[in-house]
Amino acid sequence: MSKTCKRRLYLASKSERRIEILRKLGFEFTVLEPRELEEPHGDFKHLVVSNALSKAWSVSDMVDYGCIVAADTVVVLDGWVLGKPKNYDDAKRMLKALSGKWHLVATGLAVVLIPERLQFTTIEETSVKFKTLTDREVWFYLSTGEPFDKAGAYAIQGYASLFVERIEGCFFNVVGLPVKALYELLKKAGIDMLDYVRLRTS
């Protein structure tokens, strides 16, 4: 294939939130479901980058000429990495631990170019402060079902927005895809994200 042809953009993700962010912005891309399992332990900066790269490379054999984007997000509280809760009790424990405290949300981004097999990575960090949660608020949030597939057991764009007092940094990072950081990382890889926007005419 000619190198002058625009690369196809791929998102290696199972996350509805990441897919929705890019779609709402009008980006043209193809979703590929990553096959690799995520590492459950380790230093959070290494962890999110390693997981993002693992997701990107796991779909690389499906791409002939393209740019693969992947991301991995964790919540870090006092050096303790919070992934997705295993069950109800785990989600409850996480929410009670976050209550009244600042925590860090870290997302590793990976961009892989095919067929060159070049990779580029970066990390985005955002600080978030929860209000002190009452038992009723914890019960309510758990009853919504929202925490169970989210890192740190909450979704800032959902009902958890009722409990977030302050945020310092990128809001989209807390949702799971820091678009400004992705834009800059793609530019570093020689990809202009603006070339993939389908502008609305009405």
Integer angstrom CA distances of residue 84 from 46, 68, 90, 110, 120: 18, 24, 9, 20, 25
Residue 17 makes CB contacts below 8 A (sequence gap 6+) with: 155, 157, 175, 176, 177
- Active-site residue list: 72
- Cα–Cα distances in angstroms (integers) from residue 25 to residues 80, 144, 185, in the given order: 33, 27, 17
Which amino acid, residue 178? P
Residue 33: other Cβ atoms inside 10 A: 11
Q: Could you tell me the CA-to-CA distances from 30 to 11, 187, 193 in Å, in that order?
A: 6, 19, 14
